[in-house]
Chain A
Amino acid sequence: MGRVIQPFEFVEPSTIDEALGLAAAEGSRLFAGGCELVLSMRRGEVRYRRLVSIMGVGGLGGFRAHPKHGLEFGAQVKIRQLANHIWVGKRWAALHEAIEQLHPPHIMNMGTVVGNLCSAVPYYDLPTSLYAHRAVIRIGDGRSDRELPIDDFYIGPRMTALGRGEMVTSIFVPPPLADAGSAFKKIYKARRRSNDLHKINAAAYVALDADKETIVDATLVIGSVGAKPVRIAKAETVLRGQSAGHAAYEAAAEIAAKAVEPMTDAAWVEEIRSEWIRLLARDVLEQAASRARSRHDPAEDAHLAF
């Protein structure tokens, strides 16, 4: 077990251009909170000659959460800032729940949300919850910005769509509809054998019509089943327009369990994991819909928002 990190150079530039220029070199890597990076470097899984810290760069620390304008945060925003914000808890409940269940909670004080996304670890929770909220990733190369829906952000195991000389500058999460709720749940440490993947997470977003009877929009995401979280598009289309009730969620969960082929190495594990997916999908949909139903008139929030 590698206990020692191989030597590297550590630089702290103050502008995005400078940081991207330094990080573009071979063996360099951008560094924010460093939770994942320090761990994999210590384990000897990766090795970099130079780490470029973005924590001193100006203009990346913005944070804004507004129930009607959406949630927006820069690359330096630590997870703790989102965990403590009332609107994140009220309107982006799936994200809030994923943050609350991070283990250990110390990570909240150390890591950034953008770093969590960019490390592209398949079993991380925050990407799954941000899929449910249909987050938009803003990618900058110092001169221009482009926006990418989170669905297109991951292109393979531990690989993102970021090109050389690009970085995620901020993330925008659109505001949910007026009568909408979301939820996140995970099953983990239910490991039977050491090389089984021992976790599944799921997140859902359900928007109801004004009478809170019919589903007008839904997102269902299952994570930790492959290289990236999977949106169950078929279940989402089936849910749209249906009356909000247990039968609809059961049916959608059935579709999810069939649609996902969980990453596994033994047939019997696959069976268990499919059942987990069904249960989690059903539960997150129920919970999200229950939150959507129990939400009071959004007009009552208006005075708080401004």
Chain B
Amino acid sequence: MARQIGSFKINGRVREAIIEPQMLLVDVIREKIGLTGTKRACASGNCGACTVLVEGLPVCSCLTLAITAQNKDIRTVEGLRAADGELHPLQQAFIDHCASQCGFCTAGMLMSATALLEANPRPTRDDVNRGLSGNVCRCTGYVKIVDAVLDAAQKIVAAREVTA
């Protein structure tokens, strides 16, 4: 049925893919566009592994029809790394704090944390808990993830103060 060419602005680049109305955003990102960092886990909006940022706000890409996300600014975990290959402070902090074990939730955690730190650069532990409340991790027990986000927040703020 009604195939069409969908145009998506993912990580600042316009990508086109053949989509059908019933396709989910997560499937288009993973299978049509080939950015497999975003994971599909529960596909029912419970786990947050599929979190991507649409217009800067976290959404579950498994509950979003791809057709409704066209021409919106989408960011996935692949877009976090700087152009020169340097890891985003959040990614580096996740490595430093051993905040991922199996790694399936990590992409979603990173995107939710990115949105959190953009809205609130100096979060408290409670803020981080709230900000990540839609992301489920069954390995780490969350302590290291929250530590990593707090650490990254400090580093981002410190770096900004040095440059300013």
Contacts and interface: CB of A to CB of B under 8 A. Distances in A.
B71 interface: no
Interface stretch (A18-26, A67-75, A105-113, A228-236): A105-113
Contact of B51 (A5, A42, A106): A106
A105 B134 contact: yes
A34 B65 contact: yes
B63 A110 contact: yes
A38 B24 contact: yes
A53 B67 CA distance: 11
B51 A9 contact: no
Contacts of A106: 45, 48, 51, 58-60, 134
A42 B43 contact: yes
Q: Output the residue of B2, B63, B65 with the most chain A CB within 10 A.
A: B63
Contact of B45 (A7, A8, A107): A107
A9 B51 CA distance: 26
Contacts, number: 73
A38 B61 CA distance: 11
A109 B20 contact: no
Interface in A1-60: 3-10, 34-35, 38-39, 41-43, 51, 53, 55
A3 B23 CA distance: 11
Interface residues of A, number: 26
Q: Name the prevailing secondary structure of the B interface residues.
A: loop
B68 A34 contact: yes
Given A8-B21, A10-B65, A80 B57 contact: yes
A41 B44 CA distance: 11
Contacts of B140: none
B57 A109 contact: yes
A45 B46 CA distance: 18
19 contacts: A3-B43, A5-B22, A7-B1, A7-B2, A7-B21, A7-B22, A10-B2, A10-B67, A34-B63, A35-B45, A35-B63, A39-B44, A42-B24, A42-B44, A55-B68, A103-B134, A104-B133, A106-B48, A110-B59
Interface of A: 3-10, 34-35, 38-39, 41-43, 51, 53, 55, 80, 103-107, 109-110
Interface of B: 1-2, 20-22, 24, 43-46, 48, 51, 54, 57-60, 63-65, 67-68, 130-131, 133-135
